Structure formats: C-alpha cells, structure tokens
Structure 1
Amino acid sequence: MSLSRMSGAINGGPQSPPTVLVFDSGVGGLSVCQSILSMCPGVRIIYVADNASFPYGTRSESYLRSRIVNVLSGLCEQHQPDMLVIACNTASTLVLADLRQLLCLPVVGVVPAIKPAAETTQTGAIGLLATSATVQRDYTDQLVADFAGHCDVIRVGSSRLVEIAEHYLRGHPVNEGELKAILADFFREGLARKVDKIVLGCTHFPLLKQQLESCAPRHVEWVDSGNAIANRVCSLFKEAGLSLDASHKVLHRIRFTGEAIANKQFHCQLALLGFDNVKIEGVII
C-alpha cells in the first residue's frame, strides 16, 4: 500500500500498521531497523537480507544493479509495503535513482554520514570506516569534496568487519585483536590532526559499536546514519497524515533470499534490537 492509499485508509476506515520493507545484503541493516523501531513505534518491519548474493563487495556493479532491482521489484509487488528503505550503502549508491523511478512508493536510501561528522569535528580530522568498495567509490569522493573539504579524512576499508558483524549477531565471539588492527590507521602516529569522529559507513558496523569503542586506544565519537534514516521514515509518515500507534501488536518478518540462519543467539540479538514479535523465513529468489 502506497502512502497515498494509506492516507485514504486513514480517512475511510480501519488501518493495519504501516509497513516498511528494509533491504540489505546481510544482517547489517538490522542496525537501521533498531533506529526505526525506536523512533517510529507501531511500524511493521519486513526485513530482507540478500544473503544468496552476500557479500556484495565481491560482485560486479552490473550484476548488483540487475540483482537488486529484480529482487526488490518482486518483493514490493508481493508485500505491498508503504515504504522501502535501502539500508545498504552499496545498493543505495547503485540503484536508488532507478528504484525511485520504477516503484510507486517512497524509497529511502543511506549514505555515509560524512556531512554531520565534518560539521561537528573539533579537530578537523575525521575517519571513514566502510567496506573496501565504498571507500574507493567516486560517490564517496564526491561526498568528501562536497562536505569535508576542510577536513583531513582518513579512510579505512574493511570487508572483514562485515563478516565479523554477521558472525557476531549469531553468537560468535569477536576477536579484539582483529578490531584493533582494523582501527589502527585512525590512531597512528604522524597524523597532522587527531581524528575525533569516525563515520561507520556500512550498516553492519553499528552492530559492533560497543566492541569498537572498547578497542579504540582513546575516545572518539562514532557516527552512523541510523537515526537520520529513522527521522526520514517518521517524517514521510507524518507528511501522509499518519499517526503511528504504539499499541498495535505487530508481527515483523525477517526474510533471507538464501538459507535462513537463525539460532538462539540471533533471536536474542533481535530482541535487543527491538524485534519483540518476529517470524524468520528463508526464501530462494
């Protein structure tokens, strides 16, 4: 149901909880869901992890464009969500414009939070921690040029951190030595200015925020896009005249395009992220 039809339901009769379809290559976008569930009480989440094609960093851009558009077109037709959130930096940079042109519903994307980090740095040096592909993309270069030209921007690309986050959500321990090695370049000697903000430029990484904080040799602020996305979702519902009802008993769904890997630890992590009533499914797309 589109937001326009949703508004009609508000005026014309009973209304089911609004539905947001959230998409990512894996479980990283669950960090965005946490912000949405916290700031938009009463919303229903359908989360889709494209683990059949994970990790995106090993795929060509042409493959990903075709894959993501085809998968999301089918899912939106099947579930009729009120809104689509692309909780993946790679997918957002590649197909956001295509999806907005193709689909008759609001599509919200995510970009690394370079702008707010650059606007609030006290030292004039910020870090960008993202996937190896994201730190090298022309899109990232443009964000830095547009919003952080006055800053030293230290970029660290790590695809391994994505895997660590995936495993952590399913109960695997985190190797602190690995995290310290990944973060080392942000704190190395010889930098002209000390980094005081580190942008988490992949939605997987906020899932490890506590561990990253404990492994950093000194205090820095970690900046991600979760709250900004949730604010946008709430504002779009408000523009449609919708008041979210926190008293709704909502059943969320988490769907995998490949095998559903959902052990006891994963269910416990979901509860911590705000999913109090959830169904997990594996589907082949």
Structure 2
Amino acid sequence: MVKIAVFDSGLGSLSVIKPIQKKISAEIIYFADQRNYPYGTKTVAQLDKIIKTTILKLQEKFDPDVIVVGSNTPSLLLDIEKKDKIIGVFPPLKEAASKTKSGKIGILVTKTVVKNKILDKYIRKNVPSRIQVTKINATLLVELVESGKFISQKQASRNIIKKIISPYVENNVDVFTLSSTHLPFLLPILKELFPDVVFLDPADTVAQHISKILKHRSEKPRLKIYSSGDIETFHKKLIKIGIKNKVNQL
C-alpha cells in the first residue's frame, strides 16, 4: 500500500488528510511534533534542525513513499519544494491571482513568515506585479484552532476572526490564501462571515501533486496518528474537533 507521512507541530495539518484521501487511497501517518510547537515562532536555523531531524525519524520509522511537511512556515523558509520525495505546503498564489477581481489578495501566514524576505521573493515569483498582495499575521487564528477554542468558544472566536479579516475585506481584498494548514478548520466560519470572499486551501494543490507522483491503488485508506508530546492531551484536542483516532507516542 502507498504510505504517506504528514507532519506539523500541532493538529493543523490534519486538514490536509481529507483532500489527499479524495485523490489517492493510502496509509497516512500523521505526526504532531508537539515538543516543537509552534513552528511559526521559530528561527530559520531552529526550523532547519527540527525539520531535518523529523524527516529522518519518519523515514527510519515508517519508510514512507512521500513525506508532506504540512506547514507553510518551514516549507517556505527552507525551500522544501526542491527536496526529493518531500512535499511542502505553499500559499496557492497563482490560483489566488487568477481568481481576484479587485486585484488585491491576502496571504494569511504565521508571524515568522510575515517578517521573512523569502515570502516576498515567493510572491514576486508567483504573482503579477499588477496585483497587490498583503501579508497578514494569522498567528491568533492558528491558536484558535490548536486550542480548540473555535469550537468551545464559538462567539469569541468569530469576533477575533472578524476583527482580523474585516479591515482587509473593507479594503477590497477579495481572495485570501489559507497559508497555514490550521486555517481550513475555520473555513465554515470564514465563509459565513465573508460570503463574497474566496478562501483558498493549499491542501488541494498538495493532494494533486501527490496523486501525480504516486499510483492510485484500491486498498482501504488508513490514518494513524502519532505525537511527540503528551498523547492524552493531544487526544483530547482531537476529540474536540471530531477526530477519535488513537494517538500513539513517537
């Protein structure tokens, strides 16, 4: 059976699983590297060490056909797309540029990525100069998902989301890239609050890429979840968002 490993510092990249399963039947290993949560506040040097160590661990333990670095932060800052059999998650900027009617798009990313010039280079490479791109620190939104508050404290979460996104919508930004894999969990709320705005999930691009490089097989898909942190605490977080899978220590 095809084996795909997906990892992130928390539960966010579980949002990548369903799009992958729609494209290919596989055994998916999800690793939440909670000891190093959050990736979004780490330096490039720290991330480089963490990502290399984690990839090696997953290769030795599971020998996957593909490893998905399920976070925009290390994918962008470490140029993951150039590594063999390692797939990064990147802001779908080309798609955003093709969909905007106002000529203004927003990128929802972590604090570290907003401040790094590598994102500016990525924007220049993927977006025509006629389109205005705004980088938005979405760290507070990531926390809403990781903590489960977007479910347990719905109204307060709606208020935070509205406060962060509204100023950009009022300035005619009509397409946002959910450039943190935590953010697709907020899609129902985002669509309800801003029905005329397009929110793009980077997981769709990842799933398409995987389906091209791996052969589709008919076996029943499986999902195994691992964590480097407290597995009981992580399991409780997963239950809050409707995921009942057992969590294993790694």
Task: Give the TM-score of the pair, scaled to structure 1.
Answer: 0.79
Q: How do 1:1-285 and structure 2 match up within 5 A?
A: 17-40=1-24, 42-97=25-80, 100=83, 106-148=85-127, 149-168=129-148, 171-174=151-154, 175-188=157-170, 191=171, 194-216=172-194, 219-237=196-214, 242-245=215-218, 248-260=219-231, 261-263=234-236, 266=239, 269-270=242-243, 278-283=245-250
Cα deviation 1:43-102 (Å, max 9, x = unaligned) = 1100111111111222222112111111220221111111111111112123455982xx
Q: Letter of the 1:159 partner, please give it.
A: T
Q: Letter of the 2:247 partner, please give it.
A: I
Which runs of 4 or more aligned residues in structure 1 lie more than 4 Å from their structure 2 counterparts after TM superposition?
Answer: 96-99
Deviation of residue 155 (structure 1)? 2.3
Closer/same/farther in 2, CA of residues 97 and 143 from structure 1, 3 Å limit:
closer
Unpaired stretches in structure 2, ≥5 consecutive residues = none
Q: Letter of the 1:157 partner, please give it.
A: N
Closer/same/farther in 2, CA of residues 170 and 22 from structure 1, 3 Å limit:
farther
Identity of aligned residues (%): 27
How many matched pairs?
245
Cα deviation 1:81-127 (Å, max 9, x = unaligned) = 11111111112123455982xxxx61111111112101221221111
Conserved in 2, the CA contact under 8 Å of 1:47 and 1:255?
Answer: yes
Conserved in 2, the CA contact under 8 Å of 1:96 and 1:107?
Answer: no
Query: For 2:186 and 2:220, how far apart are their aligned partners in 1?
Result: 29
Cα deviation 1:133-179 (Å, max 9, x = unaligned) = 22222221112222321112222212111110112389533321111
- Secondary structure of 1:75 counterpart: helix
- Greater C-alpha Rg: 1
RMSD of aligned Cα (Å): 2.3
Q: Letter of the 1:86 partner, please give it.
A: V
Conserved in 2, the CA contact under 8 Å of 1:169 and 1:265?
Answer: no
Conserved in 2, the CA contact under 8 Å of 1:115 and 1:143?
Answer: no
Unpaired stretches in structure 1, ≥5 consecutive residues = 1-16, 272-277
Task: Give the TM-score of the pair, scaled to structure 2.
Answer: 0.89
